[in-house]
Each structure stands twice: as structure tokens, then as C-alpha cells.
Amino acid sequence: MAEQPGREAGWSLQASAVSEGVRLELTLPDFAGQPVTAAVILDRVEARAFARALLAAAGDAAERTFPRPEL
């Protein structure tokens, strides 16, 4: 969800270390606006792959949002 000036994001992502690897918690509002949290535990290899995928998606979105200037 995009943030709007003067308004907090409608979602959150939290990562914490656990004995099995990394616990990710993603909280989003449901259709009624109530928070719903999905939690997943990833081992180190899965966590790194997930982080790379998020970084790639963010880069792709930035490139589409801010096109290269014409030379």
C-alpha cells in the first residue's frame, strides 16, 4: 500500500530471528479494514531468496515509477 502524506501505512512487515531461521509477519487490513496477520517461518536460504525477490520487485517498481530521462 502506498503511504499518503500525514497518514501511516496501512500495512506492516516485521522480521525476527527464531531458532528455525526467520519469522516474517505481514499485517494488512481485510475488506472490513480490520488487521489480518500472516506469519511464515523461513530458513536462512529461503529468507535470503525472499529478500532478493522483494528487492528485485522494488527495483522493478521504481524503474516503472521513475522512468529514465531521455539523453
CA distances from residue 57 to 5, 25, 52, 60 in whole angstroms, order as listed: 23, 19, 9, 5
Mean pLDDT across the chain: 86
Q: pLDDT grade, residue 1 (50/70/90)?
A: very low
Residue 3 has pLDDT above 80, yes or no: no
Q: Whole-prediction pTM value?
A: 0.65
Instruction: Single out the residue of 34, 36, 42 nearest to residue 15, CA to CA.
Output: 42
What is the average per-residue pLDDT within 52-68?
A: 86
Residue percentage of the chain with pLDDT more than 70:
87
CA distances from residue 52 to 12, 55, 68 in whole angstroms, order as listed: 19, 5, 23
Look-up of cell digits 496477520: 37
